[in-house]
Amino acid sequence: MKTPPESFLMFKEELRKAQLEKDRIQSEYEQKVSQANRELARLKEQIQSQQEMLRTTLDYASDLEDRLTDIKKDILNANSTRNKSVF
């Protein structure tokens, strides 16, 4: 069997190097995408936690507002009752 020409061997070596470079770049890309997905998931979790904390805070503030309104009504009722007394 005849040996292939030197140019073919050089081309074959360059092709192998290009394939290795392609594999390396693809691996780096997949790592970066994976890292970005992990960061995105972490940020999403933080946003959900902050939304829940905000929801809880708003519920608490609304409850405080209702209780304050009730206290004001009680004070007004107490003052009205005191003014109507016989003494």
**Model confidence pLDDT, tens digit, residues 35-67:** 999 999 999 999 999 999 999 999 999 999 999
Q: Residue 86: inside a domain, yes or no?
A: no
CA distance 51 to 53: 5
d(CA 56, CA 49): 11
Q: What is the pTM of this model?
A: 0.60
Instruction: Tell me, yes or no, whether 44 lies in a domain.
Output: yes
50 assigned to some structural domain: yes
Cα distances from 36 to residues 28, 45, 50, in angstroms, run 12, 14, 21
When pLDDT is cut at 50, 70 and 90, the band that residue 7 belongs to is: confident
Structure confidence at residue 3 as a pLDDT band (50, 70, 90): confident
How open is the CA angle 39-29-34, to the nearest 5 degrees? 30
pLDDT of residue 87: 53
Cα 78 from Cα 31, distance rounded (Å)? 70
Q: Tell me how many domains the chain contains.
A: 1
